[in-house]
Amino acid sequence: MTQSLSSHTDLCDLTVAQSAALIASKALSPVELTQAILSRIDQVGEPLAAFVSVHHEEAMAVAKAAEAMMQVGYKVGPLHGVPLAIKDNISLAGRATSAASKILKGKEATEDAEVVRRLKGAGANLLANTNMHEFAWGATSENPHYGVVRNPWNTACIASGSSGGSGAAVAARAVPAALGTDTGGSIRLPAGANGIVGIRPTVGRVSGRGIIPLAWSMDTCGPMTRTVEDCALLLQVIAGHDPADLSTSRAPVADYLATLSHGVNGLRIGVIPEYFFTQLQPAVLKATQNALDVLRTLGATVVETSIADLDLNLSALMTVESAEPSAFHQRWMRECPDDYGENVRFMFEQGELYLASHYIQAQRFRSVLRQRFMERFAEGIDAFVLPSLPFTAPEIGTANIELEPGVVRPTLEAIMRFTGIASVTGLPALSVPSGFDQHGLPIGLQLLGRPFDEAMLFRIGHAFQGATDYHLRKPSLLS
């Protein structure tokens, strides 16, 4: 431990921003930080089944190079020497990228995904691939090939998914941050269930090149962190047009950190009570209402509104998120169907039963719903606030879940009740910790914003974290 840090400092508790600043000032060695992170991974990685692969030797080599560069006054970028992890569907050249599947096990990527290239260019040390729901088609991360990802707040419970390994690893302080991907909620669901921060950027904000797809028209990639500041910092690095990915937007990328501390005074926060406050567990409802009270205290105005046919978002989501993945997996489903886990194989089989007319109608509805939200934004709403999940993490293997007395739904259907809105509309959404239930399990709050206005979501989320301490608490696994 260097003299500039307290001997009681747990290096694994440092945020990305703190680590980067300490390394830049030469108060922290990248080697020392990487050793601490790898030690924590060795401690909690296996019990949580949070990782598919950990690159110990390579990570230490990168850390030593980062330290040598700092010693001669050379800084690669804003993440110089900071250890991070990536979800196992994101290509890292020379490393297996399997999407936590049997079919692609051991298949090495020949080039970096664009988001990996940008992280490396900023100086990050990518030391591990995180576990996930196989091929990202599921919301529990119960993986038959690499193990069931467990929630660090209660290892009998799911970490959610599909980016469950990233969520569990960040919550357990095994890495300060990780990348995830989000189609129907796969960043925001594990962010909410594990008590961390995660953003689904606007579709087109971040390149998907080099990422194994689930559903092309809804896939996004984003950071998962413990603080909103870290989330903003990492999105700043990976966001922006990619000339080799025609789906990315040329819209300018805002300076997220410049407006981070502007507060919420005078902002108008939208809620849709008949949808946001129904069919959810009492603890989640209470946490959401308490969060709105916090925002009011900070100077925001909460505005009640409504949007027609909002309840149809889940049907449209499931149609698109079934048909598109089944098209991608069609050849493998015919050549080696038994190599898929049973639940994932079922979802791919089901996706082939949709008609073209179902898919087209779902895509038409997406445009209609997006326009209805755009009308509310035009009326002066700055962002919407709603739960990330309607319930806290259930026990592993739970097939059906009670949302409120007498209302029971299949877990897969219920889990995306709120995250599906951003997925269907293509709008950005940020999940932040907003409390805990009576069993000590985290609750997430979701912020939904205008297209390419991630800066507003970071601004609101940062203000909320400044007024609360939910993001500072440690899971029971570390007690």
Distance, CA of 64 to chain centre: 30
Contact of 199 with 427, CB cutoff 8 Å: no
Residue 162 a catalytic site member: yes
Of 91, 98, 141, 162, the catalytic one is: 162
Residue 107 a catalytic site member: no
Residue 87 a catalytic site member: yes
Of 19, 29, 87, 141, the catalytic one is: 87
Of 166, 186, 207, 434, the catalytic one is: 186
Which residues are tagged catalytic?
87, 162, 186
